[in-house]
Amino acid sequence: MANHIQAIRGMHDVLPDQAPLWQYAEQVIREVLGAYGYNEIRTPIVEKTELFKRSIGEVTDIVEKEMYTFDDRNGDSLTLRPEGTAGCLRACLEHGLLANQAHRLWYYGPMYRHERPQKGRYRQFYQLGVETYGMAGPDIDAELILIMHRLWQRLGIREKIRLEINSLGTIAERTAYRESLVGYFKTHLDQLDADSLRRLETNPLRILDTKNPAMKAVVSGAPALMDYLGEASRAHFDGFRQILDDLGVAYEINMRLVRGLDYYCNTVFEWVTDELGSQGTVCAGGRYDGLIEQLGGKASHAVGFAMGIERVLALVESLADVPVSRTVDAYLIRVGERAERVGMRFAESLRSEVPELKLQVHCGGGSFKNQFKKADKSGAEFAVILGDDEVSRGEIAVKPLRLENVAETSQASMSERQAVDFFRQRYGKK
Ligand code: ATP
Ligand code: MG
């Protein structure tokens, strides 16, 4: 075989047969976010390395070992974004969007992390991120949950995903907790793995987040952060839960749920599935008021989440019925010199009259038989047929290709006007 250049490990092409599934999910995402009045923000894929170090923190998996970092030609250290929160907040601070204003934003696009590729874990993957600023909650915290809940329902995967929530309290509360946690782990040093021993010094809460099954016992015996929350933090958490209860959104409280980052406070949550092995976290987020100041802004409020699209699509794909849309509704067959010219013109006027119709014109000539084969392969519901006979009679033939979809099964001849009406009725805006 020829020596083809291959894609980078862990970075995938979305091939044309997969694209409709992506477009379907993206469309549903846009509609759901629109229904809550959220607006899109687009930021660069590359940012200064310093931004991620300062926001995500030096002692995290991402910054320690997962970033794609390189020197720009002028020597600046740049990084392909491993997540979107930092860039979104950077942009809002830079453009002064946060001055006493509330914002509800979303972004969508590829993220980059140098991890060991496996099912559901890639080096380029897509995230939907939602970030809100300037709202103290807990109503906005709950609104984010409602958005995701609605999204799962719309995508038909609600039954496959469950919600886990926790509260991390304030930084002061966490500091007190941290001490007792470190005290506890120090009396169980023999049960900690190498990663956890290191984290004991740097980020002990992350030990609770371990994926090592051998540490399950020691982790489940650890003191619970919930017992260290003050009155305000408790009230926030209760208020959050109240809204979920009122709206019938089921959840579990998972006391071991810590998002590894220091800037989180109060509400944290994850949506998890049992259907994707150890890549079971589909969506995760929480409140991160502290990050705004950490990046040089005036103290305010922030809460958001990020969702892994590949993991969501894996769940959607496993459904029996995925309502992906057709690429081609009608396929125009043209045989003969006059038919080719008339056909091209008719196709353009049909597109002007019925913009919703997906019409593919056969190009490159060939016999009727050959063109019909292509029409069938295109997945179109109808073949639109123009031979020189039709042209002489001023007619167009329309033939249904998928019998189950239409009552009439045979080919029908009609005028141009009738053909336009025929397609407008079927595909035009209702
Ligand atoms: P994990 O525990 O699976 O490594 P994480 O805590 O690193 O996830 P976040 O940084 O919270 O993940 O990112 C939010 C979501 O993005 C995850 O819940 C997941 O769905 C998705 N995600 C994260 N890393 C990857 C990856 N390498 N490949 C595919 N999806 C990913
Ligand atoms: Mg990770």
Domain CATH number, residue 423:
3.40.50.800
Q: What sign has the CA pseudo-torsion 140, 146, 152, 154?
A: negative
| Residue 245: inside a domain | yes
How much is the pLDDT for 205? 87
In this structure, the answer to whether residues 276 and 350 fall within a common structural domain is no
Mutate to test the pocket of ligand 1, among 114, 122, 125 (most ligand atoms within 8 A of CB): 125
Spatial distance between the Cα atoms of 281 and 273, rounded to a whole number of angstroms: 7
Question: What is the C-alpha separation between 171 and 281, in angstroms, rounded?
Answer: 25
Q: Which two tokens stand for residue 112?
A: 């980059």
Q: Which residues make beta-bridge pairs with 377?
A: none
Kindly give the distance from the C-alpha atom of residue 127 to the centroid of ligand 1, in angstroms, as a whole number. Answer: 9
Ligand 2 centroid from CA 260, angstroms: 10
Q: Do 421 and 355 fall into the same domain?
A: yes
Which residues 6+ apart lie within 8 Å of 421 measured at CB? none
pLDDT of the residue at 349? 96
Do 124 and 260 belong together in one domain? yes
Phi-psi region of 201 (alpha: psi -120 to 50; beta: other; left: phi over 0): alpha
Q: What is the distance in A from the centroid of ligand 2 to the CA of 62?
A: 7
Ligand 1 nearest atom to the CA of residue 311, by list position: 20
Where among 289, 317, 345 does a domain terminate? 317
CA 308 – ligand 1 centroid, Å: 6
Cα separation, 81 vs 107, whole angstroms: 13
Q: Which residue segment(s) compose the domain that 53 sits in?
A: 19-169+229-317
CA of 281 relative to ligand 1 center, distance in Å: 7
Which of 210, 77, 278, 12 has its CA nearest to residue 67? Answer: 77
Bridge-partner residues for 302, per DSSP?
A: 133
Q: Which atom of ligand 1 is nearest to the CA of 283?
A: 18
The alpha carbon of 34 is separated from its chain's Cα centroid by a whole number of angstroms, namely: 15
Distance 96 CA to ligand 1 centre (A): 29
Nearest CA to ligand 1 atom 11: 284
Mutational test site, ligand 1, from 209, 281, 316, max ligand atoms within 8 Å of CB: 281
Residues 52 and 156 in one domain: yes
Looking at ligand 1, which residue's alpha carbon is closest to its atom 10?
83
pLDDT at res. 125: 98
Shortest-distance atom of ligand 1 to CA 82: 10
Position 344 in a domain: yes
Position 7 in a domain: no
What's the angle, vertex CA 168, arms to CA 166 and CA 173, rounded to 5?
A: 145
**CATH number of the structural domain spanning residue 98:** 3.30.930.10
Answer whether residue 197 is part of any domain.
no
Determine, yes or no, domain membership for 81: yes
Residue 323 is assigned to a structural domain of this protein: no
30 and 139, same structural domain?
A: yes
In 10 A of CB 210, how many CB atoms? 18
Which atom in ligand 1 lies closest to the alpha carbon of residue 61?
7
Write the burial class of residue 403 (CB in 10 Å: 0-12 exposed, 13-18 middle, 19+ buried): exposed
CA of 53 to the centre of ligand 1 (A): 18
Say if residue 386 is in the same domain as residue 269: no
- Residue pair 266/228 in contact (Cβ under 8 Å)? The answer is no
Does 176 reside within a domain?
no
Of the bound ligands, which one is closest to the alpha carbon of residue 279? 1
Residues 243 and 283 in one domain: yes
Q: Are residues 130 and 239 in the same domain?
A: yes
Q: Which residues contact 75 (CB under 8 A, 6 or more apart)?
A: none
Q: Which residues make up each annotated binding site for L-histidine?
A: 83-85, 113, 127, 131, 259, 263-264
Domain boundary among 265, 285, 317: 317
295 and 343 together in one domain: no
Q: Which ligand has the minimum distance to the alpha carbon of residue 306?
A: 1
Regarding whether 269 and 348 lie in a shared domain, the answer is no
In this structure, are residues 288 and 131 in contact, taking their beta carbons and an 8 Å threshold? Answer: no
276 and 418, same domain (yes or no): no
Based on the domain organization, do 304 and 343 belong to the same domain? Answer: no
Report how many domains make up the chain. Answer: 2
Residues in contact with ligand 1 (CB, 6 Å cut-off): 83, 113, 115, 120-122, 125, 127, 279, 281-284, 306, 308, 310-311
Give pLDDT < 70 ranges for the chain: 1, 260, 403-409
Residue nearest to atom 26 of ligand 1 (CA): 121
What are 199's two structure tokens?
């984290």
Q: Where a domain ends, among 255, 282, 317? A: 317
Tokens at 148, concatenated: 């995701």
Quick check: is 156 in a domain? yes
> Which residue has the CA at smallest separation from atom 23 of ligand 1?
308
Q: Whose CA is nearest to atom 28 of ligand 1?
A: 121
User: What pLDDT, on a 0 to 100 scale, did the predictor assign at position 324?
Assistant: 84
